[in-house]
Amino acid sequence: MNKALRILTEGLSLEKLEENLFRGAVSDTIIKRVYGGKVLGESLTAAQLTVEDRPLHSAHAYFLREADSHSPVIYSVDRSRDGKSFSARRVTAIQHGQPIFTLKASFHKEECGAEYQGPMPEVPPPEAVAPVVWDWSKFDSLSPCYQRMMTITEPFEIRAIDGPNGTNDAQGKPLRRVWIRTTDRLSDSTALHRAILGYISDYGLIWTLLAHHGFLVTNDKVIVASLDHAMWFHRPFRVDEWLLYCCEGVSSYATRGLARGSFYTQAGELAVTVTQEGLMRAI
């Protein structure tokens, strides 16, 4: 397995300290501020460790404080409810004695019901899109933020349909579409695939809006931070198989931006919907 992917999967395997209490690994991020997707992925793992036989179907999170990469994060899980069909959990991520992140998650036993989804966007297949290739020979000379961007995506193979800065749709709305999958095959654990998707879903979503306003991913004159994040898991998927991540800008105002993302399987099934509001402050 690719070393970066192994580090990611091992990092999402939390240490159980006590019933409903878990500890995450110290981050290997380049800068002190931890990538928000890591805390999100670990929180999803913590919640899933307390539920059996019911897959996660939705999660709603708030980023409260920056996570320190030099210290582990403690995850406290409240078993809010276990009903006949649904289970609810509340996760609080704690560091240095303060909550830095909260998540509410809901689980639903598998049932049959009515089905509908809108059509998948028409895009070229992943085989027809050039892969994103990083120049690792220049890694040491790059800014810490750019280095972190490279390390976040290292466990994945990414093929950017619209390039690194995205594009606009026919109505002029910000749009960014990429094919993505892990570099290697993973186990069949549904919980692992959901946690890894949570990890990568935080990457680049708000940048869909920033590019629309002329900011490039290499721009260090803007402060970007996730404020809240919501996910709905609709259908089965694997993150080690190609997924189309279609990101759309919804609104930007008062230094905040809202973006929506959809993950589709290569067969055209809508697997996951994501929304996120983020801080976009020029300095």
Q: 226 an active-site residue?
A: yes
Separation of CA 3 from chain center:
20
Q: Which residues contact 107 (CB under 8 A, 6 or more apart)?
A: 51, 54, 55, 56, 57, 86, 87, 88, 89
Kindly report the backbone phi and psi dihedral angles of residue 40, in degrees, each rounded to the nearest multiple of 5, phi listed first: -60, -50
β-pair partners for 63: 101
Please indicate whether residue 266 is annotated as part of the active site.
no
Q: Catalytic: which of 202, 240, 252, 262?
A: 202
Structure tokens at 124: 């070229």
Q: Of 282, 7, 138, whose CA–CA distance to 146 is shortest?
A: 138
Active-site residue flag, 202: yes
- Check 69, 226, 252, 262 and give the catalytic one: 226
Q: Which residues contact 234 (CB under 8 A, 6 or more apart)?
A: 117, 270, 271, 272, 273
Active site residue ranges: 202, 226, 276
